[in-house]
Amino acid sequence: MGSKHKLKRFQENETFSRLLQPSREELLEGNFPLRGHWREEFFGNDHPIVLELGCGKGEYTVGLARRHPEKNFIGVDIKGARLWRGAKTVTEEGMPNAGFLRTQIELIDRCFAPDEVDEIWITFPDPQIKYRRTKHRLTGEGFLEKYTRILKKDGLIHLKTDSAFLHGYTLGLLHGLRHEVLYAQHDLYRDDNAPEELKTIQTFYEKKYLETQTPITYIRFRLKR
């Protein structure tokens, strides 16, 4: 994507009311006004909040929001050019139960208050295979601690990835830390009993992986307190 095209998207992002872009300084200083008030001030209801972390173009945020009007969905990513697609769709369709947040996921507990989130989706994140990057994996121990802070006690987390490495790493970590693994599948599309929306909502990258017959893995789990 050319720089002019990206600039145009960045400029259009500024016009989307359903896309928030707080500064890093604002979050670190504890001045983000929606923290603890997303339901009443952003969505205007008391419905459950579901996050898609590393959402890219927001395919799951948009797809789930269409299917579940009884829930609120927020896609989170740092890349504004990608977020543009989801934010534009939400704006054009006038979806009241979906929005986007541009920030680093390491600051997620600065954006949401304790027990404010009901569910988290992590869809096709960078597996960060190199050992020195362990702390950057979105299912690494440090991130799991952050999720524990913002999730309700029985909140669910979903990991969907093409990376057999990340799938195995996450399962091992979850078992080692005694978190509750509810369902794990190393080849999701071969499981006839898998929930329908796990297969019908597909990200941009997922479609590419399926074209090359790369197995898609999935884990659903809860974090112990």
What rounded mean pLDDT belongs to the chain? 95
Please give the average per-residue pLDDT across 5-33, as a whole number: 94
Distance CA 178, CA 222 (A): 10
* Res 205 pLDDT > 80: yes
Q: Which of 87, 51, 59, 54 is nearest to 202 (CA)?
A: 59
Question: H-helix or E-strand containing 180?
Answer: strand 180-185
180-185 sheet: strands from edge to edge? 19-20, 98-102, 72-77, 49-53, 117-123, 151-161, 217-222, 180-185
What three-state secondary structure class fits 182?
A: strand
Backbone angles phi, psi at 60, to 5 degrees: -75, -40
Q: How far is residue 51 CA from its own chain's centroid? A: 5
* Residue for token pair 């006038």: 94
Distance CA 216, CA 225 (A): 29
Distance CA 63, CA 132 (A): 35
Which amino acids are annotated catalytic?
126
Q: Which amino acid, residue 31? A: N
Please give the average per-residue pLDDT across 37-65, as a whole number: 97
Question: H-helix or E-strand containing 168?
Answer: helix 164-176
HSE (side-chain half, CA atoms, 13 Å) at 119 = 15
pLDDT attached to residue 147: 98
pLDDT attached to residue 132: 67
Please give the average per-residue pLDDT across 92-118, as a whole number: 97
Instruction: Name 2's Cβ contacts closer than 8 Å, sequence gap at least 6.
Output: none
Annotated binding site for substrate: 130, 162, 203-206
Annotated binding site: 52, 77, 126, 130, 162, 203-206
* Res 15 pLDDT > 80: yes
